[in-house]
Structure formats: structure tokens, C-alpha cells
Structure 1
Amino acid sequence: MSTADVAIYRGRERLAAVDATDRGLAYGDGVFETLRVHAGAPVWWDAHVARLRHGAARLGIAAPDAAWLRNEVDALMAGQGGPGVLKLVLTRGTGGRGYRVPDEAAPTMVLSRHPLPPPAPGPLVVRWCQLRMALQPALAGLKHLNRLEQVLARAEWRDEAIHEGLLLDAAGRVACATAANVFARIDGRWLTPRVDACGVAGIARAWVLANVPDAAEATLQPADVEGADALFLCNAVRGILPVGRLGDHAWAPHPALAELQRQLGRAEPAFEGS
């Protein structure tokens, strides 16, 4: 990544680098957003900003002004008309050693642009991960910076033929994939795990819940997922990704899933044909 691909701020002051005492670096004290860029503009911008502000408020971090943030994002993306990925990282800012939150801290904001990942070669092949996600309602739903659970889960396999891993929580319930939410089609409905004890309230997940009749949150066991009529993963960068195999369980293309992908493509052209 070149210096042209990143912009770092303390408050609104432009910095050359992140401070070594930044609490995001030391403690994961912050939140982030990862957005798809299409035709030079970030997709689902308002939803991402709303989630960033919600997460910052939950952690007691001052969020940047939305208009200022969009101006800085547009400046970073200027001249980048093709598809890509934009990442926003907001930390509490700098602070001394120790967990105590500083009385006053100027938040750090890091904006960076990245290439779009290659398209999936076809229906995903996924596996169950051994790692179990901790139950922590105080952080549930947030896209906070501490992603060690996901890092360790993703480190469980190197086989390039496996595209993703599904995680259970500490109580044995289905939680999510390492980098996506999961939906299972059960009795004619799209169901996704709740995020009140762990997991991330994804932007693509929210779109499905808001736009698909009968889509809902539910408590799902591994057997529910393995016995589903269809399965897909979703996130804000890659949209809706059908799952073709989970261990010994395989799924043929499902018409309801194909229609859901078309519906998303009509609503958000960035995902058309995905």
C-alpha cells in the first residue's frame, strides 16, 4: 500500500503515521468499517456511517462529522473509478500504558483503499471451525477492532479449496463465518443467527432482513444449518455468496437463492451478476 492509498487523522489533523501509543494498536480500542466501492462511490455509505457512529457511541468514542468524513473519503478515492474496497478505522486515540480510558483523547481515523478481492470461483466450500466464540453482550453486534477470534479461526486451515469457516459460540450455537454472516433456508424462510451475545451485525445481513419477506433472526444449531434447503454467506464487500458444500453436506443451486442475488443486484448495482 502506498502513501496515496491511506489517510490518517488525529481529529481533523492529517498525520504521517499512526502514533505508537494509539489505543487501537495497543488494545483494539476502536471500531472499523469495510465498504465496497463501485463507480467511485462507497456502497451502503449511510448504513456504514450509522454503524460506525453506533459502535463509537457504545464504546464512548467521539465519531467524526459525517460530512467531513465523506469529503475526506471522496478525496482519497478521487480518480479511482473502478471497483475497490474502502476501510475506515476509528480508534479512541493515543494514551499512556494501562487500560484506563484517558479523560481526554482525540480519536484517530485511518482511511485506506484496497483492491476488490477476486470473485468466488463458484458456490463456496466451507468448514466448521474448532474455535468457539466468546459470549460478550457488551460487545455483541459491534465491528470492533479486536478480531483475534476471527484470526485464530481463519488460521485453522490452509487448503485453498476451502473458502470459509463457520463458527459456533461458547454455547454451541451457530454464530457466523470468519468474515461474513450466514443465512440458512429453513421451512421456506431465510434465518440468520442472532447477534445479541456475539458476532457482528453485518450491513449485508441488515439488507436481507429489511428487504426479504419472512427473513428473521433465530437460534440455530449446527444440525439446522446442515439440514437447511440452502445456505449463503454475505458481507458488504462480496454481497451474497451461495454455499455449495459444508463438510459432507452439499447443496445444489436453489431458485430462491438465485432470485435473492438478482434482487440484491437490482438494489445495488455493485453486486449485479455476483
Structure 2
Amino acid sequence: MNGPYMSGTPCWIDLMVPDQQAALDFYRDLFGWQGEVGPPETGGYSVCTLKGKPVAGIMRASNPDGTVPDPMPPTVWTTYLATDGIDSTLKAVTDAGGSVMMGPMDVMDLGRMAVITDPTGAVVGLWQYGTFAGAGIVNEHGALIWNELSTGDTDAAAAFYSAVLPISTAKSQMPGAEGYTEFKVGGRSVGGMMDLAALPAEVPPHWLPYFHVDDVDGVQAAVVRAGGSVRAPAFDMAAGRMAVLSDPQGGTFAVITATAPESPA
């Protein structure tokens, strides 16, 4: 991926954690990412790379003044959707029943960002391309391959995302994936959506990043050895073999050996 992503496409992910260095070490060992705590002017934000290309961000949870939050927010991965115009998108967000949690704000010359909550309660970011397009490598071992929304109201979510970005929805045609919805941009599937009822009752609406890996079972075992946990043990499904895992600080993600990886760009 060399240029900007089409508006509506998941283009970046980042992780907010209490211990940034521990997270950098964990994902380096698990996926081969390279990254270090960033400069003060970026709040220490780390852009991790894989094969020299940006793959994900990791930042320390902190208040705007740099102090440690109390209580500490949950450790979560945030998915960012590309937009050609963040201000008009944010107006569409509020018009469609969503809310703005943060922003819009300029990130130096890299771009503009905001974080919103959709009407079903799921948090997602928005990214307007400047000099930084987002993930520079996808669909390879250790890189992003898919982003999935779990929500208690799939109809409301479909209507919302279609209203705020050039996203359409369609029921999946994969065998065994009845009831699964795909998000499409320009006719291409760029993400998915499932009913929250399939998950434990305590799980809130959320976006989940998927990383492509060569060996799901091996990665699952490595996560456990490193002090992480297994949310859904490795299993076979229509799109490949996958597992849902959490890092030692609680950041949840999925890994998949996809049967036919496709670029989300």
C-alpha cells in the first residue's frame, strides 16, 4: 500500500496500553514488529514497522497533560477508517446518531484524526490522509488483514456507516457464514460485521483487528507463553483457521491463516 486508502476503508490500527515498552516487546517477539517509544512532541507514540513499512501504532495511556489516568482506561486496539474530509464526516456522524469522542485534530503534517462512537456503542477512529496514508503492509504474516465490528444491532450499524462514509453492506456469500455482513468500498469487501449475541454477554460492541499469520496454533501458543490469554481457541471456519487472543495487558486481537488473503485497500 503506497497511496491513500479509499474513503471508508480500514487504514490503520493502534493500541493504547499502560506499559508501552512491554507492548512493544510483546508484539516484536510475536510478529517481528520493530518500534520504539516516540519523541515527546508525539506524546511518545510509536509507529511500529514490519519489513520497514508502518504496520500499527502503540501508545501509552495518559492524560493530555502526560499524567497517568486514574482509573486506567482499558487496553484496546482502535481501528481507523479512512476519510477524504474529516470535518464533513464528523457532521455526518452526529447527524446519523453517533457521537464524537475526540477531535478533530491535526497530527503534524501526517493527517487529521478523530475518534467516534457509533449509535450501537462501538468506538472507531477516522483518519484523513496527509503525508501518512496508514498501514504500508497488509495480508502478510504479522500484518493487518481484516477488521470486524461486533454489535448488538447490525441493521442500525449498517445504516450508520453507510450514512457517514461511502460504505455499502452485503450478506456474506461464504459457505458457513450465514448471518455475517461484509462492509464494501468500491465493490470490494474491506471489513465485516457480526451480531454481538454470538459472544459472551459481558463483551461490549467493538471493532476487532485480524492479523494474518502463517501458523495460528503456533502464534496462540506463543501468546500463552508470553503471559497473554486465549479468548477463542484456534478453529477452522469459512475464511481459514483463526483464533482470538489477548496480549498480557488485555489488548484483544484475532489471528488468521486466510484461505485467500485479499488487500483491504
- Please say which structure displays the higher CA radius of gyration: 1
As a proportion of its length, which structure holds more helix? 1
TM-score (structure 1 length as normaliser): 0.24
As a proportion of its length, which structure holds more strand? 2
TM-score (structure 2 length as normaliser): 0.24
